[in-house]
Chains A and B, each alone.
Chain A
Amino acid sequence: MNSLIIGQYVPGDSYVHRLDPRTKITIIFFFIFVVFFANNVPSYSVLVIFALASVMLSRVPLRFIIKGLTPIWFLVIFTFILHLFVTKEGEVFFDFWHFEFYTGGVVQGVAISIRFFLLILVTSLLTLTTTPIEITDAIEDMLRPLNKVKFPVHELALMMSISLRFIPTLMQETEKISKAQASRGVDFKTGPVKDRIKAVVPLLVPLFVSAFKRAEELAMAMEARGYQGGEGRSKLRELKIGKLDMIIYIIFLSVIAVLFYTRTYA
């Protein structure tokens, strides 16, 4: 239970870890945007180099990166094959039965696969190098303008951080309840799927009951400690845009500049 890590954060002290979470989110947002502007080999290379360099700088072990990419392999291969069959551009390079494969299909398929790969790579790099609580802080800060239209930004962030705080507690509790129920004869591990799903009920009911009780007590404790909403609150955790963030912004802007310079305009 002590090895429990929420999300997929890999602790470290690399340049990427040290960036302000807001910088990371902003850059990733615009990166996702500009990925769709790349349309030839040089422009794709610029993006791939930027993404791979970030991965190298983060010093996150490769196996975590690969693990982050696993859910999309299927999608990448599926879209690649789809393009192969559907796109009818360029020359026919292969003829099989009554299917004709065009070179355009291969090019399109590869391009789409690279896009997917880049998107997932940079977003998983964010969660690998940023703690959930940092991401919460960053979101709270970046959504602050929405306060003007009465959007409860602080409350949303507090809800997120309390949920994160209680995930391990509730997991420990789940383990305890499942052991308690198992000792009374509930079988979670064998039998037909239908029975096993039914066996979850005596696990979920006490878990929910206790979660509600916890919530009530927590609310009371928070009130007793003087919590009265976001107004007039100060914050211990502080976000700071430093020199490093400025450097990264400049690098990223030049990457975009090079991208738009190298891409072909039809």
Chain B
Amino acid sequence: MSKKLIEFINVSFRYSEDSPWVLRNVSFDIYEDEWVAIIGHNGSGKSTIAKLVNGLLFPGEGKILIDGREVNEDSIWEIRKKVGMVFQNPDNQFVGATVQDDVAFGMENRGVPRSEMIERIKSTLNAVGMQDYRLTEPHRLSGGQKQRVAIAGVLAISPRVLLLDEATAMLDPKGRKEIMQTVSNLLGKKGLSLITITHDLEEVVQADRVIVMNNGEVWDVSKPRDIFLKKDALRKIGLDIPFVAILADELRESGLSISREPLNHEELLEDLWTLYSKM
């Protein structure tokens, strides 16, 4: 197993002394080069985890280590170099007047020299497929394009962790596809861990591991395929089961022997057309 990059050790969090705990005794590890999806219904504490990782909030109890360093007031600027975050609303995180100004914002904050900025703007915009929009103003971009620019802005500071906090929630299906495509293209990059936070089970299928959150507690940590097996329990904690998984269940009930739990249409299709030869 590769190196631990993020460690949550018995973390609890609440917004104030007299309010209920948002997170209760949460512990998990995230390793280098890993894609972890965090899923849960609204109010399950998943976005709070994102803010804790970036030092926008601090844990009430327990501690968080990023690359071996504890998150606290003194270390946040170090931590924010290592953890890049993309938020839900594409408009409310676009700071620059044009695409290239926005990608530069994070680098400007860190005092990166101008010549290097230009170089990195070019390469990161290429990485997210936005190289033709370098001088475009934000109001001329679609939501998906804005989120890709946001991803480029984060990549430009070469973080260790890329954290997408419901980055696709406000996008249309096309924009959602664009982002998931961009994200899976990035995975080849060495040393970059990816955390995607979502309430959509369809978005966890490509992840290496899934952390399911429920009412501020870690409900389950396992591989996507194993998560999909617990359909009834997932439904109980307020998550929508993807259509393919439901279809597979129905097919099984009507007597077809579908052995593995399909993650997407292609897998189910393959199981179906190879069914006869297996019998």
**B-contacting residues of A (Cβ < 8 Å)?**
1-2, 4, 133, 161-162, 164-165, 168-169, 172, 213-214, 217-218, 220-228, 232-238
Contact = CB atoms under 8 A, between A and B. Distances in A.
A1 B157 CA distance: 33
B106 interface: yes
A225 B100 contact: no
B92 A238 contact: no
A237 B101 contact: yes
A234 B112 contact: yes
Contacts of B153: 225
A165 B96 CA distance: 7
A236 B54 CA distance: 25
Nearest to A6: B137
24 contacts: A2-B140, A165-B94, A168-B139, A169-B91, A213-B92, A218-B95, A220-B56, A221-B92, A221-B95, A222-B105, A223-B56, A224-B80, A225-B84, A225-B154, A226-B106, A228-B109, A233-B109, A234-B108, A234-B111, A234-B113, A235-B114, A236-B101, A236-B114, A236-B118
A234 B108 CA distance: 5
Interface in B31-45: none
A24 B75 CA distance: 44
Contact of A165 (B56, B95, B140): B95
Q: Please indicate which of the listed interface residues B84, B85, B109, B157 has the most CB atoms of chain A within 10 Å of its own CB.
A: B109
B77 A217 contact: no
A162 B87 CA distance: 18
A233 B84 CA distance: 18
B56 A224 contact: yes
Contact of A217 (B81, B92, B113): B92
Q: Is the interface of A mostly helix, strand, loop or mixed?
A: helix
Contacts of A172: 139
A227 B94 CA distance: 13
Q: Is the interface of B mostly helix, strand, loop or mixed?
A: helix
B107 interface: yes
Contact of B100 (A165, A224, A236): A236
B69 interface: no
A116 to B, nearest CB: 33
Q: Please indicate which of the listed interface residues B77, B104, B110, B154 has the most CB atoms of chain A within 10 Å of its own CB.
A: B110
B187 interface: no
B97 A165 contact: yes
Given A4-B139, A221-B92, A224-B80, A164 B97 contact: yes
A240 B12 CA distance: 52
A232 B157 contact: no
Contacts of B138: 165, 168-169
Nearest to B157: A226
B89 interface: yes
B157 A222 contact: no
A237 B98 CA distance: 11
A225 B109 contact: yes
Nearest to B110: A226
A169 B97 CA distance: 12
B125 interface: no
A220 B51 CA distance: 10
Contacts of A169: 91, 138-139
Contacts of B110: 226, 232
A223 B118 CA distance: 22
A168 B113 CA distance: 30
Given A2-B140, A169-B138, A236-B114, A228 B94 contact: no
Contacts of A161: 97
B117 interface: yes
A227 B93 CA distance: 12
